[in-house]
Amino acid sequence: MNIGDFKILKKDSRTKARRGRLMTAHGPVETPVFMPVGTQATVKAMSPHEMESLGCRILLGNTYHLNLRPGMDIMEKCGGLHKFMGWNGAILTDSGGYQVFSLTDLRKITKEGVEFQSHVDGARHFLGPREAMRIERILGSDIAMVLDECIPYPCEKNYAAKSVARTIEWAKICRDEPHAEGQLVFGIVQGGIYPDLRERCGQELVKIGFNGYAIGGVSVGEPEDVMIQGVEQGIAALPEDKPRYLMGVGVWTQLVESVARGVDMFDCVMPTRLARNGTAFTRAGRYPVKAAVYKDDLRPIEEGCTCYACTHFTRAYIRHLLNVNEILGARLLTTHNLHCFLRFMEEMREAIEQDRFPEFRERISSEYKTIDKAHAQKK
């Protein structure tokens, strides 16, 4: 396979789920895939070696944050993001559009880009499609996302239509800008809750031509059924032979439902952020390890789990670390949560390969809960 090739290895016979392989400059990425978020050139609490040992082959960096700190002068001197952070796997970089557009009171949008005030020191900055591509070129990521405007929920259709037009124009500029050697570029489908705008955006992006396509502007506060509709609408105009990336979604039932509709790639801060807040993910749901009920619980975080945290430590110990603010507590819980997510995706790939994805889908739907009350039951 050549860099940029996306091969569909197996299609589910009863849904639109597919098992694929995307070739990047730093090796193949097996899909469906969950990409841990490393916003500041690190997956929080984890070393690159630990991420590799968990089976992670691709993670995220962020244009907005890395441009502010440490800055592109340092990044250029260090030889790009891979060398800077000591990571040998693939990296996808978000263009920073979501972060910039979340600064509602600190930004001004024009057809050239966005002028915004840094959340760090209040300094004024400008980010347009050319600037975003320059930053991602210096970072040298394997996959660079175009600059888009993330439409909020709710949003009037008139504004959404103007925003989509802007996203399409910026995508054209991003596609024509110079890129790092071997760097793939993905377009982003926007359109809010409006099917015709989603369809138009997808069609125009396909005309421009990208190595892959993302569905953006979902999981921004809308109900779950509206979110799933947005996924369906975003995929409608996208080609079969290119990878499809759903941005910012990490709830397991939503991952499964999106894969059933043809999505290949996902990212979310959920496993790492909730770990730092003391929440453990399990196959049956999630629960608060910091709760008093676990103070003398000698079971692992999840019985049957083979991760380092579960094979070496008890809930009582990890709860203790978390409650006295010891760094190791967050590290162990992050290790478990990421292991859980990556293993989950591995099992989903296996289910597609063996043509039993619908059964896997049904099991996850019936088993997964927001809070697993069984964890609170003492043996």
pLDDT of residue 369: 62
* Residue 309 contacts residue 336 (beta carbons within 8 Å): yes
Mean pLDDT of 180-195: 97
Question: Which whole-number Å values give the CA distances from 351 to 180, 194, 251, 256, 348, in the listed order?
Answer: 36, 33, 18, 11, 5
Predicted confidence (pLDDT) per residue in 18-72, tens digit: 999 999 999 999 999 999 999 999 999 999 999 999 999 999 999 999 999 999 9
| Pick from 97-111, 144-158, 297-311: least confident | 97-111
Mean per-residue pLDDT over the chain, rounded = 94
The answer on pLDDT for 360 being more than 60 is: yes
Residue type, 45: A
Question: 374: pLDDT confidence band, cut at 50, 70 and 90?
Answer: very low
Six token digits for residue 220: 């921004």
pLDDT of residue 66: 95
pLDDT of residue 108: 85
Predicted confidence (pLDDT) per residue in 284-337, tens digit: 889 999 999 999 999 999 999 999 999 999 999 999 999 999 999 999 999 999
Architecture of the 6-267 domain: Alpha-Beta Barrel (3.20)
pLDDT of residue 280: 97
pLDDT of residue 98: 73
CA-based nearest residue to 372, from 240, 276, 283:
283
| Pick from 33-37, 197-201, 216-220: least confident | 216-220
Kindly give, in sequence order, each residue whose CB lies less than 8 Å from that of residue 97, ignoring residues fewer than 6 positions away: 132, 145, 147, 148, 149, 150, 188, 216
Q: Count the Cβ atoms, other than its own, within 10 Å of residue 32.
A: 26
Residue positions annotated with a catalytic role: 94, 267
Domain boundaries, given as residue ranges, for the chain: 6-267, 275-355
CA distance 185 to 145: 6
pLDDT of residue 254: 96
The answer on pLDDT for 373 being more than 60 is: no
User: Partners of 93 in the beta sheet?
Assistant: 61, 144
Q: Count the Cβ atoms, other than its own, within 10 Å of residue 6.
A: 21
Question: Which whole-number Å values give the CA distances from 26 to 58, 64, 188, 281, in the listed order?
Answer: 9, 23, 23, 29
Six token digits for residue 125: 């900055």
User: Partners of 280 in the beta sheet?
Assistant: 287
Mean pLDDT of 11-18: 98
91 Rama class: left (phi>0) / alpha (psi -120 to 50) / beta: beta
